[in-house]
Amino acid sequence: MVAEDDEKQAELVRRYLEREGHSVTVVYDGRAAIESVRHRAPDLLVLDVMMPRADGMDVLRVLRAEARELPVLMLTARSTEDDLLLGLDLGADDYMTKPYSPRELMARVRTLLRRQRLSVADDAVAPSTLSVGALVVDPDRHEVSVDGEPVECTPGEFRILAAMAAEPDRVFTRQRLLEQLHGFDRYISNRTVDVHIMNLRKKIEPAPHRPARLLTVFGVGYKLTDPKASRAAS
C-alpha cells in the first residue's frame, strides 16, 4: 500500500512496485490510509509524512496502537534528526527523505519484505519465552515485561530485544543488530540502532542514564545482562 498525497509521486512508486510484481493500492490522505490498512491488511505500507486529514505520524500512531505490525517505510521532505527519532519511536521500520532514488526505495522495500518473511518463519520455531533476570520476552505473544509489568515496544525495539534476550551477555555489534532490523542493507544507518537502544533503556531500565540491563560495550556494541547476576559475580 502506498499512502502519498502527491499523485505524481504516488504513481511513480506504484509503477516501480508493480514492475517488481507487487499488487499495489494507492490512497491519498491519512484517514484513507488507516481505513484501507484495516480492511486490506497489506504486507507493507509506504507512508508519506505530510498528508491531509491525518499526517503520516498520526497514521503510524493509530496503526501501532492497534498492534498492527506490518512493515512501514516512511517518506518525508523533512530531514531533521527530530523527525527521524519521532518516526522510529512511533514504530516506523525505515525512513527516507525526499528527493529519493526509486531504485533505493525498491531495495528497501525488498529488505523489509524479506525480513518480514524471515520473522514469520522464525516465529514457528521460537522458544515460548526468553528471560534475562526480571526481563521476560515472549516471541509468540510479542510481549515484554519487567518485574511482571508489561512494556510496550515498537516492532524494531522488540526485534532487537528478542535477539539479545536469546543470547544474554553476548556482545552485539551495531551491524549485527542492524541485520536483526533490516537484514543485510547498506542503506540503513547505525544511528537507527542507537535510537532503538536509547528508547529501550527508557522502557526497561530503572535509571535510563545509568543502564544496568542494556549495557554499552565501548568500541564494540551492546549487550543484555541480568543486573542481579552481574552483581553476584562481582
Q: Which residues contact 223 (CB under 8 A, 6 or more apart)?
A: 164, 168, 169, 170, 171, 172, 214, 215, 217
Buried b (16+ CB within 10 A) or exposed e, 201-212: bebbbeeeeebb
Distances (CA, A) of 210 to 22, 105, 180, 207: 46, 38, 25, 5
Cell of 196: 532503538
Read off the pLDDT of residues 14-32 as tens digits, 9 standing for 90 and up: 999 999 889 999 999 999 9
Taking domain 126-233, whether its CATH number is 1.10.10.10 is answered by yes
Alpha carbon of residue 15 to chain centroid: 26
Compute CA 230 distance to the chain's CA centroid, rounded to the nearest angstrom.
30
- Structural domain spans, the chain: 2-122, 126-233
CATH of domain 2-122: 3.40.50.2300
| 154-201 pLDDT per residue, tens | 888 888 998 899 889 999 988 888 776 654 444 455 677 888 899 999
- How many angstroms separate the Cα of 39 from the Cα of each of 3, 21, 34, 60, 187? 15, 22, 9, 16, 32
Residue 6 — pLDDT band, cuts 50, 70, 90? very high
